[in-house]
Amino acid sequence: MVAVQRDQATAAQAGAARALSPCVSVCRMDPRTGLCEGCLRTIDEIAAWGDMTEGARTGVLAEIETRAALLSRVEPATTAPAGKGAQGLQRGVNDPPQGDWPSTLRFIQRDWLSCNSVLVCDRNAGATLFDSGYVKHAVTTREVLAQHLGELPLRQLVNTHLHSDHCGGNALLQRTYGCEIAVPRASWHTALAWDEERLSYRATGQRCPRFRPNASLAPGDVINTGALRWEVHSAPGHDPHSIVLLEPQHRLLISADALWSEGFGVIFPELEGESGFAEQEAMLDKIAQLAPRWVFPGHGPAFNDSERAIAFARERLAALRSDKARNARHALKVFVKFLLLDLEFIHVDALHAHLADARLFDSAARLAGMDRNDALRWAVQALCAQGLARRAGEVLHNSNDAAG
């Protein structure tokens, strides 16, 4: 009788029971949730498991119980149309047509959570990757890279800046390929010391596994990727430490978050009362002067009509500049949307807790004239109204991938 009761209880808690012990052999990551399908641990937890104290493991297991409960409420992934692209889109990788740029250059377009990457494969110089996406997609990034690389070694990885969506794959790629990692010189010391506050991860509530940089790049430096040689230019505005890279012979520009086909990244310095709009305007002037033929942005499609994109960006900048609260409100939505893209769903109480240390969220709230609780409520409502989030009871779900 006792045994029967135990069996029934086990069956009733099948999801949680399954989650309560780590996988015995190989973990299979679910790209939709960023969790192992079997044990519901994240990549970071799996990697750190061997070195964790018993207390830390118990903490993770408690967290996994919550995940198991939440997962039983989450809807299945949106059904993408069958065909070659469907799997790629689900995993945050689009397969855009390659343009008439040198064939050694591959533009790997991702989504809003993981930035795009540019890969240059040179038979003599080896391969160079520019930016590595967000940690949730790190395994996919490595798979996609492996397809492009074939037998070619990944020799170097260059980051335009160290926001979590641009260097989240660094640690895994460094472990896999032993590649050298070059970061903007202005971020060298913070990256080396892994100061999570100054690297913005704590201030935004985002995550990024630690990696060790090997080299730094300053304006005027040149990166040799074989036949293509890239000039380093400073690119303040979105991030005061960011760089962009110009290949002058073919006039190719890796523009990071300084210029997209329609817009640019949040102007973060302004959220903290520092200058950013003026720098962004100067940046647009600089890109206009560089007159690139092809632009490979941090997010969205590559484009070859930079004049149109610059004109669009100037209009948007003028609008943000005339109303600083607008920049702040935009940032509030971006913070919450980014978390939803990462976590897929979150209980509203957990959302408050998750952003408890997010200093930049507080700064944005103040600029928008709200306290943090009102700002969070406002951002959730605004995202739901735009169809970018969906609320089911007390759980907020991600909805489509059209974040800005």
Report the interface residues with Zn ion, using CB under 5 A. 163, 257, 265
Find the shortest distance in angstroms from Cβ 67 to Zn ion: 28
Q: Which is nearer to Zn ion, 316 or 347 (CB)?
A: 316
How near is the Cβ of 97 to Zn ion at its closest, in Å? Answer: 25
Q: Which of 264, 364, 371 is nearest to 319 (CA)?
A: 264
CA 144/CA 121 separation, integer angstroms:
14
Reduced to 3 states (helix: H, G, I; strand: E, B; else coil), residue 26 is coil
- Closest residue to Zn ion, judged by C-beta, is 163
Which CB, 188 or 264, lies closer to Zn ion? 264
Q: Between residues 101 and 112, which has the closer beta carbon with respect to Zn ion?
A: 112
Q: How far is the CB of 126 from Zn ion (least distance, A)?
A: 27
Provide the CA 341 distance to its chain's centre, in angstroms.
9
Closest CB to Zn ion among residues 163, 329: 163
Quote the tokens at residue 233: 């230019």
The C-alpha atoms of residue 61 and residue 70 are separated, in whole angstroms, by 14
- Helix and strand numbers (H, E) in the chain are 17, 16
Rounded-to-integer distance, Cα 272 and Cα 266, Å: 12
For residue 90, the minimal CB distance to Zn ion (Å) is 24
**Cβ at position 330, least distance to Zn ion in Å:** 14
209 vs 297 by CB, closer to Zn ion: 297
Q: Which is nearer to Zn ion, 163 or 241 (CB)?
A: 163
Beta bridge pairs of residue 108? 117
**DSSP per-residue string spanning 101-169:** S-TTEEEE---SSS--EEEEEETTTEEEEE----GGGHHHHHHHHHHHHTT--EEEEE-S---HHHHTT
CB 298, min distance to Zn ion, A: 6
What is the identity of the amino acid at 18? R
280 burial type by CB count under 10 A (0-12 exposed, 13-18 middle, 19+ buried): buried
Closest contact distance (angstroms) between CB of 205 and Zn ion is 15
Backbone angles phi, psi at 396, to 5 degrees: -100, 125
d(CA 123, CA 153): 10
Q: Quick check: helix, strand or coil at residue 200?
A: coil
Q: What is the DSSP string of 291-333?
A: --SEEEESSS--BS-HHHHHHHHHHHHHHHHH-HHHHHHHHHH
Nearer to Zn ion, 149 or 181 (CB): 181
- In angstroms, give the least distance from the CB of 349 to Zn ion: 29
**163 vs 233 by CB, closer to Zn ion:** 163
Q: Which is nearer to Zn ion, 257 or 342 (CB)?
A: 257
Output the smallest distance, CB 161 to Zn ion, in A.
Answer: 6
